Amino acid sequence: MNTLIDNITDEVTKAFVANGYDEKYGKVTLSNRPDLCEYQCNGAMAAAKEYKCAPFMISDKIAEALLGNSMFESAESVKPGFINLKLNGEYLAQYVSEMKADEGRFGCEKTENPKTIIVDYGGPNVAKPLHVGHLRSAIIGESVKRIGKFMGHKVIGDVHLGDWGLQMGLIIVELKERKPELVYFDESYTGEYPTEAPFTISELEEIYPTASGKSKVDEKFKAAALQATHELQQGRRGYQALLSHILNVSVTDLKRNYRNLNVNFELWKGESDAQPYIPDMVQMMKDKGYAYMSEGALVVDVAEETDTKEIPPCIILKSDGASLYSTTDLATIVMRVKDYNPDSIIYLTDQRQSMHFVQVFRCARKTGLVDEHVQLKHIGFGTMNGKDGKPFKTRDGGVMRLEYLLDEINGEMFKKIKENQKEKENLDITDEEVEQTAKTVALAAVKYGDLSNQASKDYVFDIERFTSFEGNTGPYILYTIVRIKSILKKYEASGKSLPQGDILGAHSASEKNLMLVLARFNAMMENAFEETAPHKICAYIYDLSNAFNSFYHETKILSEEDEAIQMSYIGLLMLTKGILETCIDVLGFSAPDRM
């Protein structure tokens, strides 16, 4: 289905052309004065310059030409030369009816030109617990991925595990100190290694920070860890076996955590998977003369003439020949091109990694790792702050583990829902159901709280505000959906079945406004995809919920006596529910049946 705004633009453009003006002046936008009109065209203002006349002479003609048009209820020329438009109610209802008939898509067509897009998000590090810093990457990345899928693209989410480097050596050395008798350390051993890991996830999560702490004060320990890392990377059997235990235990735990966040990855690749691609890549960069030695390191220049600030060279190998974070990311690009030939790779990390990605992307382009048409995009997000405006920490100042944070919010939500049930005297709900509902609502609170901000901005993680049932919050959106579900249920309980037919022209201003907001769905979704901007979906569903709730408060729906009108109302409810549910699914959360 064409977007409504395109349909309107087409009509207005025709009027411009019919009056002898260029078609480019017919562009229509959403009104910025909803008290005066619904849509507006400012083309006469610009056209006046070309045609050397007063703008209102043009806007007058256009408004007159549009008068008889069945698409509009009114078309007004307003000095100095604006054209204010209101849609005809029947036309709008027809548009909204077509949306409703287009079940599941609601007028938003899938792309005719599907692209392969890799979304690199999550980025947890093996053996380190997930902390709040990983939350944004997971939440925003999951939504970016789902938006792309909804638009019909082939989108592949890759967790890109941090499973390479010193942290592995640290764990190995620490483990060796604790349990030297383990067979993994016996170099003469040639048999099979045990399938059971010699540690649990909680041990692992304690071993790593301990080892990391030691390495900062104990030179010998650090040297041993470096050596172990080196031997691991050279393929020492016992260490390789330990690595797979570390990976298994860690990944099992990570999967559980991500499942609780309703985040799913298509690929569980890690930094280690890219390592085999490094030697050939480095050789190519040398052979083609891109990489050269500078102060002992192998580097590629990536500065460009137009740079306004200094962009340092991309370091490919350190002086000891070791690879770096950037080397791994470059090799990962090689691997992804080979495996998936993507049109686009989108990375989600903290903004503080921006320079890293500028260097990596430029280096990848310059050395020809990707074709020109391939888009490499870094979405750097801001910091999640506490109420004090500083990065979010636990009460005692430590890094907050994601699990504990979510538990806390689940608890908060549980209390709220209990209270709400008591108020509504809905006492037939079991504690188990409340607990399940609390989890669903809590997740919406956290995700919406994050996604409703433009990603690049810092935001304050305010549990109290996020969990509120009122205002611009996830629970408010869910509350709206639950309200609609409940009306539909009552309607069906009265023996009527949900109507398939058309929606009638609006009977009130609030109903028309609801239709106008509904009709923006396809254009909004396309735009959210183009701009990789989940916050636009949040802003939209907030508008939609407000529009619905105004309509709801002003309209008797279940007691409406005119059957046809009631059916039309119910149709509107079905469409509103369908769109809200589609949007929250794309954002990565869902609604309960009651709350």
129 lies in the site for ligand ARG, by CB under 6 A: no
Please choose, out of 120-128, 407-415, 497-505, 511-519, the segment that lies near ligand ARG by the rule CB under 6 A: 120-128
DSSP class of 369: S
Tokens of 358: 């500028």
450 lies in the site for ligand ARG, by CB under 6 A: no
Judged on CB neighbours under 10 Å (0-12, 13-18, 19+), 385 is middle
Binding mask 292-331 for ligand ARG (x = CB under 6 A): -------------------------------------x--
534 lies in the site for ligand ARG, by CB under 6 A: no
* Least distance CB 160 / ligand ARG (angstroms): 5
123 lies in the site for ligand ARG, by CB under 6 A: yes
* Least distance CB 387 / ligand ARG (angstroms): 25
Nearest to 121 by CA among 367, 450, 378, 427: 378
59 lies in the site for ligand ARG, by CB under 6 A: no
Please choose, out of 21-29, 119-127, 440-448, 485-493, the segment that lies near ligand ARG by the rule CB under 6 A: 119-127
Cα distance between residue 123 and residue 215, in whole Å: 24
* Least distance CB 23 / ligand ARG (angstroms): 45
Cα distance between residue 165 and residue 554, in whole Å: 62
* Least distance CB 174 / ligand ARG (angstroms): 21
Judged on CB neighbours under 10 Å (0-12, 13-18, 19+), 190 is exposed
Query: Toward ligand ARG, which CB reaches closer, 93 or 364?
Result: 364
Please choose, out of 118-126, 182-190, 364-372, 411-419, the segment that lies near ligand ARG by the rule CB under 6 A: 118-126
DSSP secondary structure of 284-335: HHHHTT-EEEETTEEEE----TT-SS--PPEEEE-TTS-B-HHHHHHHHHHH
Please give the C-alpha separations between residue 455 and each of 55, 95, 554, 578, in angstroms, as whole numbers. Answer: 40, 33, 36, 26
Query: Toward ligand ARG, which CB reaches closer, 125 or 480?
Result: 125
Q: Which residue sits closest to ligand ARG, CB atoms considered? A: 123
Interaxial angle between packed helices 43-51 and 55-67, expressed in degrees from 0 to 180 and rounded to the nearest 10 = 130
| Residue ranges in 149-178 that form contacts with ligand ARG under rule CB under 6 A | 160, 162
Who's near 207: CB < 8 A, 6+ residues apart? Answer: 127, 171, 174, 175, 178, 199
Tokens of 95: 């548009």
DSSP class of 377: E
141 lies in the site for ligand ARG, by CB under 6 A: no
Cα distance between residue 5 and residue 329, in whole Å: 42
* Least distance CB 141 / ligand ARG (angstroms): 10
* Least distance CB 348 / ligand ARG (angstroms): 8
Query: Toward ligand ARG, which CB reaches closer, 123 or 148?
Result: 123
273 lies in the site for ligand ARG, by CB under 6 A: no
Tokens of 28: 């229509």
Binding mask 241-260 for ligand ARG (x = CB under 6 A): --------------------
Binding test (CB under 6 A) with ligand ARG, winner from 39, 347, 361, 414 = 347
What sign does the dihedral 355-356-360-361 (CA atoms) show? Answer: negative
Neighbours of 378 (CB within 10 A): 18
In the chain, the N- to C-terminal Cα span, in Å, equals 35
Query: Toward ligand ARG, which CB reaches closer, 55 or 129?
Result: 129
277 lies in the site for ligand ARG, by CB under 6 A: no
Query: Toward ligand ARG, which CB reaches closer, 69 or 326?
Result: 326
Binding test (CB under 6 A) with ligand ARG, winner from 38, 76, 120, 273 = 120
Query: Toward ligand ARG, which CB reaches closer, 76 or 120?
Result: 120
412 lies in the site for ligand ARG, by CB under 6 A: no
Q: Which residues bind ligand ARG (CB under 6 A)?
A: 120, 123, 125, 160, 162, 329, 347, 349
